[in-house]
Amino acid sequence: MVDFHHGLVLVTGPTGSGKSTTLAALIDAINQHQRKHIITIEEPIEFLHKDKKSMVIQREVGAHTGSFSRALRAAVRQDPDVILVGELRDRETMQQALEAAEMGFLVFGTLHTNSAAKTVDRVVDMFPVGRQPGTRLSLASSLRGVVAQLLLRTADGQGRVAVHEVLHTSTAAANIIREGTTAKLYSLIQSGRGQGMQTMDQGLMAAIRAKKITADEAWRKAEDKTSFEQLLKKPLSS
């Protein structure tokens, strides 16, 4: 997710799922290994980034700027390589993020959704019906990936562990987004493990096999509980 030169990468999940931590890790990976100009827009700033190979400018909504959309508009004028938007919470900010991604910037942002399909639907639903076909076209061309994550109790009850659904936007995924048939994304992701993709249910099963979480904890968060129950009946070594 950090090697793209432009486009939109979305990290999603409910409040408290560790989205900010994941975004900070992505920014730090770029900062350590690439010479980039990075601007982050956050509310609040949770992780301070010192310049390494990259130059990182951090702005806080409420302290340095009045809103995410205003800060994003100003950031584009400074011609950075990477822009992080802490929350894509409204139509104006989302529109600007899509435009920035299409202009050649690499944009990271977050949404409170639990899967790649729900993320695509959420973006499209931010816009009036008459603008939704154009939004699908824009998203199909600019979206590079979605990482949906949950934080679950560890099997020993002593901490929490992140489980992820990962979508890399292929030509097939872009076609699905463009056509508005987002329900098909699940099976596309499910069959794309060779390309580094996995559904949340596949991630949950992997965490069970690694003895990181219990089967009961995983079942509570499974997307397709009927299919997940069938998977649980199979030997964990299979």
144: containing domain: 139-238
In sequence order, what are the residues at sequence separation of 6 or more whose Cβ sits closer than 8 angstroms to the Cβ of residue 7? 101, 106, 107, 142, 143, 144
Considering the domain architecture, whether residues 105 and 2 belong to the same structural domain is answered as yes
Distance CA 143, CA 69 (A): 19
The structure tokens listed for 90 are: 């409204």
CATH number of 63's domain: 3.40.50.300
Statement to judge: residues 166 and 85 lie in one domain? no
| pLDDT per residue rounded down to tens, the chain (238 residues) | 889 999 999 999 999 999 999 999 999 999 999 999 999 999 999 999 999 999 999 999 999 999 999 999 999 999 999 999 999 999 999 999 999 999 999 999 999 999 999 999 999 999 999 999 999 999 999 999 999 999 999 999 999 999 999 999 999 999 999 999 999 999 999 999 999 999 999 999 999 999 999 999 999 999 889 889 888 887 665 4
Q: Is the peptide bond before 44 cis (omega within 30 degrees of 0)?
A: yes
Residues 8 and 58 grouped into a single domain: yes
The dihedral sign for the CA sequence 56, 62, 64, 69:
positive
Same domain, 147 and 77: no
